[in-house]
Amino acid sequence: MDQILVEHNPAPAKLDVMGVFQWPIWTKEESTFPWTYSSREICYILEGEVTVTPENGDPVHIGEGDLVIFPAGMNCQWQIHQAIRKHYDFT
């Protein structure tokens, strides 16, 4: 299974080329919940902090300014430490 890919503080030009700021925004309060990715997701964290732990994998800490790719088919646990606000795109 593919892993979670995190790019810390990507260049603004890269975000513009990807059209990140045109993507929808998702928000969620502090919470813990299971999630399964039925398709690949790319997201850019605007605010907050979360630890995502893939099934049979190591926890990945994600926070403000991170560009993240979650692979299709991944089962994981989300633990939101500070309310999350992110742009997202399913591909």
pLDDT by residue, tens only, the chain of 91 residues:
579 999 999 999 999 999 999 999 999 999 999 999 999 999 999 999 999 999 989 999 999 999 999 999 999 999 999 999 999 999 8
In this prediction, residue 42 carries a pLDDT of 98
Predicted local confidence at residue 2, as pLDDT? 72
DSSP code string of the chain? ----EEEES--HHHHHHHTGGGS-EEEE-SEEEEEE-SS-EEEEEEEEEEEEEETTS--EEEETTEEEEE-TT-EEEEEEEEEEEEEEEE-
CATH architecture classification, 5-90? Sandwich (2.60)
